[in-house]
Amino acid sequence: MRQYVRGLAEVGARVFGVGDTPPQALPQDSQHYLSGYLQVPRIMDEDDVITRVSAWLRGREMDRVLTNWEPLVILAARLRERWGVPGMTADTALGFRDKALMKQRVEAAGLRVPRSARAQSASEVRAAAEEIGYPLVVKPISGAGSADTFRVEDAAELEAVLGRVRHVPEVSVEEYIEGEERTYDTICIGGKPVYENVAHYLPKPIEARNKQWISPVIITVRDLDQPEIRRGIELGRGVLEALGMDDGFTHMEWFSTPSGEAVFGEVGARPGGACIVPQMNYTSDIDLFREWARAVCWGAFEADTTRHYNCGITFKRAQGEGRIQRITGLDAFRQRCGRWLVEDALLPVGAARRDWTQTLLSDGHLMIRHPDWEEAKRLSFAAATDVKLYAG
């Protein structure tokens, strides 16, 4: 998030931050780019935050209210409405946040979405499953990052999943779509994409999220002018129009089925997580943190959007628990990649390993780029299979 603060400052904005982090704990570069900062006790308490921020900013005129974190898009929209600031309304933001409402609006525009139902109780989940059929997906109505998301094969498995989502107030029960999963990422001005990106998930996030041994891979696509990719882009453009997108980042997931159909998954009015923006930067030799800021502040986009590379990121998960004891295969991987290795961000030996169930970032990543798709895929998979971290 500090990169977005930098981008805003670099295009001439005075940035006032709001968060629940103590001021002294903010990164030094963020402190440098901020013109002011308010710590609030509970960032998710929307009414309290609105009251505190309004009192803090009394006497100042705000031009924009921005967030790039999924749980705060409604709060940002409510602040815009309160102050009469341009940007997405709360109702529009809700369409990007509430997965059931999102699918209703997208389907109403004539676009293909998975069959789904919302449920607040175990009995409602069971009834939806009976109607939709197996396999299916259970996930939070307002979730992000594949958290608490499960593929369910049958009624017995559903009962086990019900226990795991008991803490989720409301879920979406959805048709499972067979096919490969892609992203459609944009920066928009007035709802129209000025930068577009497609990336492959290998494997699907729902599979990678629930199997520790997998090293998830995401690869941006250099050549967007492929029939399968074009179908996803056209779907994405239709989704943004149906949901009333305004200015800023969007991040959408969609499925390419074996028959070639593009099926909508879900979309957020914010950038993708897990380093997708740096990947897009490496793909086009661009600074999208700054270009996003230029788009939302000035309604302009100045960078060259030529795509030079496919950029792959591989997230690593250590074997064992505790602290990283050793890393194998890394030197050979570095030699194989040479100049195509652009980031080596693995946790160092001695560091405590992260909880892979809570963050896709896991125990670090390796990022490569290459103009040839097949070579980019080979290098990304080599990072997945040949580099190993051991904890103990």
Biggest alpha carbon–alpha carbon distance for the chain: 60
Q: Is the dihedral of CA 366, 370, 374, 379 positive or negative?
A: negative
Please compute, for residue 282, the number of CA atoms within 13 A of its CA located in the half-sphere on the CB side.
Answer: 24
Q: Measuring CA to CA, which residue among 316, 291, 342 is closest to residue 185? A: 291
Neighbour tally for 171: CB within 10 Å: 29
pLDDT of residue 210: 78
Residues 6+ apart with CB under 8 A from 133: 175
Report the relative pairing of strands 15-19 and 34-39 from DSSP bridges.
parallel
CB 271 within 8 A of CB 251: yes
Q: Say if residues 374 and 308 touch (Cβ distance below 8 Å).
A: no
Question: How many other β-carbons are positioned within 10 Å of the β-carbon of residue 170?
Answer: 16
Angle, CA 100 vertex, CA 65 and CA 102 arms, to 5°: 45
pLDDT digits (tens, 9 = 90+) for 200-225: 999 988 888 878 999 999 999 999 99
Kindly report, residue by residue over 283-322, the tens digit of the pLDDT. Answer: 999 999 999 999 999 999 999 999 999 999 999 999 999 9
Q: Sheet containing 150-152: which strands, arranged edge to edge?
A: 116-119, 171-175, 136-140, 150-152
Per-residue pLDDT of the chain (392 residues; tens, 9 = 90+): 899 999 999 999 999 999 999 999 999 999 999 999 999 999 999 999 999 999 999 999 999 999 999 999 999 999 999 999 999 999 999 999 998 899 999 999 999 999 999 999 999 999 999 999 999 999 898 776 667 889 999 999 999 999 999 999 999 999 999 999 999 999 999 999 999 999 999 998 888 887 899 999 999 999 999 999 999 999 999 999 999 999 999 999 999 999 999 999 999 999 999 899 999 999 999 999 999 999 999 999 999 999 999 999 999 999 999 999 999 999 999 999 999 999 999 999 999 999 998 888 999 999 999 999 999 999 999 999 999 999 99
| Residues with Cβ within 8 Å of residue 166, at least 6 apart in sequence | none
3-state secondary structure labels for all residues of the chain = CHHHHHHHHHCCCCEEEEECCCHHHCCHHHHHHEEEEEECCCCCCHHHHHHHHHHHCCCCCCCCCCCCCHHHHHHHHHHHHHHCCCCCCHHHHHHHHCHHHHHHHHHHCCCCCCCEEEECCHHHHHHHHHHHCCCEEEEECCCCCCCCCEEECCHHHHHHHHHHCCCCCCEEEEECCCCEEEEEEEEEECCEEEEEEEEEEECCHHHHCCCCCCCCEEEECCCCCCHHHHHHHHHHHHHHHHHCCCCEEEEEEEEECCCCCEEEEEEECCCCCCCHHHHHHHHHCCCHHHHHHHHHHHCCCCCCCCCCCEEEEEECCCECCCEEEEEECHHHHHHHHHHHEEEECCCCCCCECCCCCCCCCCCCEEEEEECCHHHHHHHHHHHHHHCEEEEC
Whole-number Å distance between alpha carbons of 187 and 66:
14
Omega within 30 of 0 (cis) for the link into 203: yes
Tokens at 306, concatenated: 């030529």
Q: How far apart (Å, rounded) are the C-alpha atoms in residues 157 and 138?
A: 11
Using CA atoms in the order 355, 359, 362, 366, what is the torsion angle rounded to 10 degrees? -170
What tokens appear for 252 in the block?
């959408």
